[in-house]
Chains A and B, each alone.
Chain A
Amino acid sequence: MAASVRHLLKPWTPSLCFARWSRYNPYYLDPDPSKDARVPDSELSPEQKELQELKTVRPIKAALSSDTSSPFNDPLISKFINMMMQDGNKILARGIMTQTLETIKRKQVEKYHRSPAAKRLEIECNPYTIFQKALENCKPIIGLASVQKGGKSYQVPVPLTDNRRRFLAMKWLITECRDNKHRRTHMYEKLSQELLAAFANEGNVVKRKHDLHKMAEANRAYAHYRWW
C-alpha cells in the first residue's frame, strides 16, 4: 500500500509541457475553501462519502491567495477579475469589479425607489444575480472551428464545453468594453452598461452571440467534417 502511494507521488513531470498549465502532480486534489456546514455522514451518498475520505488521505494543492473562506467569495467574479487583469495588477482589476457592481446596484436601486409599488417586484437589484444572468445570456451554445479538408479550410459548427462558453462570454464582454466604447468613460461605467443591457438581452455582446449562432446555422452543411 505504502509502496503504491509512493509510486504515485514520484517526482512527476508532464510528458507534454505547456507554458501556462499547472505543474502539480495530478494526484493532488483541488482545495475547497468554503466554510460549508458539514453535512453529517448519514446524509451523504456513497460517492460523496468516498470523496470525503479521499480528502482526509490525499494531498491537496495550496489555496490561491485570492480565495477566501467567506461566503462573499464568488468563483465566477474571481474568474472575471482575473480575465480583466492586465500586467498582474489585480488590485486595479478588483477595484474596477467592485465599482461595476456598485454602479449596477445604484442604477437598479434608484429605479426601484422611483417606481410605484406595483412595479417594484420586477426590478432586480442584486448585482450578483444580474452579473450571472447577463453572463448566461452572453454564452454561445454552439461554436465554430476551422477544419482543413482538401486544401481548403471550412468553418465547422462544433459543440463547446462549459468552460469554453464561459471564457468566450467573459472575453467578449471585456473586449467590447475596451474597444467599442467612448474613450473618456471609465471601465466600470462601460461594463455596467453592457451588463445591464445583456441582462435584458440587448446590447452588442448578445448581438455577437447571435451572429455566431447564425454563422453556425449557415454552415450546417459542413457539420459532418467534424470527426471528434
Chain B
Amino acid sequence: IQSNGQQLEAVAVETASAEPNPLSVFRTSEQDPTYHSEGHTGQYYMLPPAHIQKLFPYGLPPRFQLQIKTFNEGCVMVRPPALELISYLKRADYSKPPLRYVLYGDIGTGKTMSLCHALHYCYTQGWLIVHIPDAHLWVKNCKELLPSSSRPSRFDQPIQASQWLKNFKITNERFLSKLKTTQRYVWTKRESTEKGQPLGELIDQGVNRMKSSSDVVGAVLRELRLQAGGATEGEGAFKLAVAVDGVNALWGKTSLKKEDRTMCEPEELTLIHNLRKMMKNNWAPVMICCACCIDLLKGLNIFALVLFPPPYLFMPSVFQEGFDSMEPFVPVSVSNYNEKEFESCYLYYLDRNWLQHPHSRSEEGKKELIFLCNKNPSILERLCAAL
C-alpha cells in the first residue's frame, strides 16, 4: 500500500483530467464521511489515497486491499449500519462515561467495512484512533510467547505488540509530540521513561526494545485513558476512538500453549488484559468504543466450524463472559445487501470493468448472481472475481 499511494495519485490525476466523468448513479462526490446521510445509501464514495496510507496501513480486509490495488482506487459503499454508527458518534454526550457499540452480523455482511467507514469519519474529525485490526491475530498462531518482564504470571507477545505500535505511530503522528506521560515507567534496571516525556518516545522505546513492547502497549493505553478525559484546555483536548475488530477473541479460548503444554487463558496475555481494561466503561469520558464481532446470538455457524477447529470456537463461554463485561452496549446489526445496494455494487463492478463474462452482463446473469450469493457482499465479491 505504501508504494501504491504515489502511483494511485498520479494516475488518478491523469484520468480526472482526461475524462470528466458525469456522476453515475452509484457514486457520490461527497468524500467527507461527516456529510454522508441517508440520501447517500447504496452509493460509493472514494477514500482519498493519502488517508488510506495513513489510517489503514493494516486495518482493511485483505480482499479489499487487493481490490484497491486492482481498481486503482478505494471505494467504499455507504450503508445504513455505518451511517447509524456515525450518527451516534455525532450526537453522543461526551461528558458521560463512554458508550460501546457492537457491530454484529453474519459472516461476510460488511462489519469490518462499516467499522472502517466510521473510523474514516473519526480521522477526518481529528480524533485519536486506537484500532486493533483483528484481535484474533493476537490470540492464535503467535510465534513467540515470552514470560512477562513485569509480572510473573503473564505472557508477552513481542512481535504483535511492536507491529501494533508501529502502525499506531503511523496513524496518530500528530498527537505523539503533544501528549506527555504522567508517570515514570521502569523497563529494566537501566532503562526507564521519565515523567513528562512525549508519547512518541514511549512508542519508540517499545518498537526498539521488543522485549518490553507489550508492557509499552499497556502503558500507552493507560496514558490515553488518563489523559483523554481530563483535558478541557484548548491544546491538550482530543477525542479518542477505540475500535477492536473481532472482539470475541478477547474472551474466548486461545490456541496458544505455555511451556508445560497447558492452554493459555486470554487473561494471562498482557495485550489482551490491557485491551479488556480499555473496553470497560468505568473510566473518564470523551472516549467511545466501537467493536466488531461474529454474531454472538447465532453461536456456532457452519462456516466457522469448517474454517476453525471446534475447540477454538468455544462459543458458550464467550457468550457469557463477554456479554457480561460488554454490557451495556448499543448493538448495530449488519446484514446482506438490499436490492438497491446490490444494484449499486453490480453497476460499480461493471464500471470498473470487473464483470467480464458476457452472460454476467445480461439480465439473466444478474438474476443468477443474486440467487447464488443471496446478496451477501463477500460471496458476491468472490463470485464476480472468477467471472
Contact = CB atoms under 8 A, between A and B. Distances in A.
B96 interface: no
A98 B72 CA distance: 22
A97 to B, nearest CB: 8
Q: Which of B69, B365, B387 has the most CB of A within 10 A?
A: B387
A110 B386 contact: no
A186 to B, nearest CB: 14
Contacts of A99: 386
A126 B357 contact: yes
A117 interface: yes
Nearest to A71: B359
Nearest to A112: B353
Interface in A66-125: 70-72, 98-99, 101-102, 105-106, 109-110, 112-114, 116-117, 125
B304 interface: no
A109 B354 contact: yes
Nearest to B354: A109
Contacts of A28: none
Nearest to B67: A106
A106 B66 contact: yes
Contacts of A125: 353, 356
B324 interface: no
Given A125-B356, A128-B357, A101 B70 contact: no
A113 B70 contact: yes
A127 interface: yes
Nearest to A118: B18
B356 A105 contact: yes
B275 to A, nearest CB: 34
Contact of B18 (A102, A113, A116, A128): A116
B11 A113 contact: yes
Contact of A110 (B18, B72, B360, B364): B72
B90 interface: no
Contact of B368 (A72, A110, A114): A72
B19 A117 contact: yes
Given A71-B365, A98-B386, A102-B386, A114 B356 contact: no
A131 B357 CA distance: 13
B75 to A, nearest CB: 12
B159 to A, nearest CB: 22
Contact of A114 (B72, B359, B385): B72
B325 interface: no
A101 to B, nearest CB: 5
A168 B7 CA distance: 42
Contacts of A72: 357, 359-360, 365, 368, 387
B340 interface: no
A47 to B, nearest CB: 28
B69 A110 contact: yes
Contacts of A126: 356-357
B18 A117 contact: yes
B327 interface: no
B12 to A, nearest CB: 10
B46 to A, nearest CB: 14
Contacts of A102: 385-386
Interface string A15-34: 00000000000000000000
Interface string A184-202: 0000000000000000000
B18 A106 contact: no
B18 A114 contact: no
Contacts of B386: 98-99, 101-102
A105 B19 contact: no
Contacts of B72: 110, 113-114
A109 B353 contact: yes
Nearest to A107: B70
B71 A109 contact: yes
A113 B385 contact: no
B245 to A, nearest CB: 25
Contacts of A98: 385-386
Nearest to A116: B14
Interface string A118-148: 0000000111100000000000000000000
Shortest beta-carbon contacts, A-B, top 3: A98-B386, A126-B356, A71-B359
Interface of B: 7, 11, 14-15, 18-19, 66, 69-72, 352-354, 356-357, 359-360, 364-365, 368, 385-387
Given A98-B386, A99-B386, A105-B385, 16 more contacts: A71-B364, A71-B365, A72-B357, A72-B360, A72-B365, A101-B386, A102-B385, A105-B354, A109-B70, A109-B352, A110-B69, A113-B72, A113-B353, A116-B18, A127-B356, A128-B357
30 contacts: A70-B359, A71-B359, A71-B364, A71-B365, A72-B360, A72-B387, A98-B385, A99-B386, A102-B386, A105-B354, A106-B66, A106-B70, A106-B385, A109-B354, A110-B69, A112-B353, A113-B11, A113-B70, A113-B71, A113-B72, A114-B11, A114-B72, A116-B18, A117-B15, A117-B18, A125-B353, A126-B356, A126-B357, A127-B356, A128-B357
